[in-house]
Structure 1
Amino acid sequence: MAEKFQVEAIGWVRSSRKAALDDDWDSVTASIELDTAQFDRQAMAGLDAFSYVEVIFLFDQVDPEDVQRGARRPRGNPDWPETGIFAQRARKRPNRIGSTICRIVAVDGTRLYVAGLDAIDATPVLDIKPVMQGFLPRGDVAEPDWARQLMRDYW
């Protein structure tokens, strides 16, 4: 039996992107608005010294009944191999959790402006972490050709 955990949103994405399209995520600057009932501006203190953050969010628009638990062809592309959900970054994943490294554009009080966030408007944000060099891969990153093709127009 699976254990259950409860998490709460720390804030929400504010973006002109209202639909989860698969490409051109870099074309928009989004912001993360903290829940001011939980946090004040001190929660963002020092974040402006970093150039990137990792944003952890919930794919809340994905119906739990649509979650993928096995293998599928990424984006339904017949030219790409069937690949397990844990070898993809698809949004219809168990627990519906997304994670993206974004460039910090500005920090303004309880609002963080970022570039490269692939989440739509009103998406619940679960956490924000600064990206530190010591936590990045310490060697070459290997990936299959289909993954490079998929990412060609993503940003």
Structure 2
Amino acid sequence: MSVERIEFPVVAEVVGGHVGRLDDFKGGVESIIRLRPEYPLETLQGIEEFSHLQVTWYFSAGNPADVALHARSPRDNPDWPATGTFVHHNHRRPARLATSFPRLLRVDSRDLHVVDLDADDGTPVIDFVACFQEMLPRGPVTQPSWPSEMLKDYWRDARER
């Protein structure tokens, strides 16, 4: 059986933090992941014991027509090689989903206060979960040099802009 489409509930939304699509300076910004009222507070029980969350969110800004199913240079920089759609970490992928690993600062009722979440204010959150170190990549992570060049300022403190 082949599945063509999947629907997901929106479990929370991002409040505060970034506004507008910025390529860099995502660091040091605090925001809130606000759990929707239809989910009981009990669903958050114990989450405050963890340092980080794994957050799956939807690129709601922009247009579905932005999806690009061809190889292209990241950030349109010809110094970096053209790579396929599923190499890029942006809104141009078909499902328009992203995953972030913000640090959890505190929990206040339905509000999970985080830092270093690279989603904009108002972004729908599809899912979040406490980050288990054992569920992170095992072994060395390898990549070509261009992502490090491209993202050298990505987590730079936003106040330095």
Do the two structures share a fold, i.e. TM-score over 0.5? Answer: yes
Query: What number of residue pairs does the alignment pair up?
Result: 154
Corresponding letter in the other structure for 1:80 = W
Query: Do structure 1's residue 34 and structure 2's residue 38 form an aligned pair?
Result: no
SS in 1 for 2:114: strand
Deviation of the 1:118 alpha carbon: 0.8
Equivalent residue, structure 1, for 2:25: 24
Q: Retained in 1: the 8 A contact 2:90–2:96?
A: no
Gaps of 5+ in 2: 156-161
Equivalent residue, structure 2, for 1:83: 83
Q: 1:8 to 1:68 in 2, by over 3 A?
A: same
Corresponding letter in the other structure for 1:105 = L
TM-score (ref. length: structure 1): 0.94
Q: Retained in 2: the 8 A contact 1:15–1:28?
A: no
State the distance in 2 between where 1:42 and 1:121 align: 25
Q: Retained in 1: the 8 A contact 2:14–2:121?
A: yes
Q: Percent identity?
A: 36
State the distance in 1 between where 2:18 and 2:62 align: 16
Corresponding letter in the other structure for 1:5 = I
Equivalent residue, structure 2, for 1:127: 127
State the distance in 2 between where 1:91 and 1:65 align: 10
| Aligned-pair Cα RMSD in Å | 1.3
Gaps of 5+ in 1: none
Corresponding letter in the other structure for 2:8 = V
**Would you tell me which structure has more strand in proportion to its own residues?**
1
Equivalent residue, structure 2, for 1:95: 95
Equivalent residue, structure 2, for 1:10: 11
Cα offsets for 1:20-63 (capped at 9, x unmatched): 11111113101111111x11321111001111101100001131
Q: Retained in 1: the 8 A contact 2:18–2:118?
A: no
Corresponding letter in the other structure for 2:146 = W
Equivalent residue, structure 1, for 2:68: 68
